[in-house]
Amino acid sequence: MSLNHQINQLDWQQICHSLHEKGYALVSNFLSDSQCQSLVKEPAIKSPLLSLYRKSVTQGVTLK
């Protein structure tokens, strides 16, 4: 399944509701383990600031 298809399959109404009510939305099981590992190895955005951003985001995923 392509990433675009995965994005289109999300419950955007629920995501918007959560953002409005809580200020954040959790999207569980969005990326597979292999997709996460690919992003860690080769990030889509290459920037010196990316490492600072990564430190500020809690993903709930243990990276090996």
In 3D space, the residue among 18, 19, 54, 21 whose CA is nearest the CA of residue 36 turns out to be 54
Instruction: For the chain, give every domain's residue range.
Output: 3-56
Check residue 11 and give its pLDDT: 95
Q: Report the distance separating Cα 5 and Cα 41, nearest Å.
A: 23
* % of the chain beyond a pLDDT of 70: 66
Check residue 60 and give its pLDDT: 55
Residue 15: is its pLDDT beyond 80? yes
Q: Report the distance separating Cα 28 and Cα 46, nearest Å.
A: 25
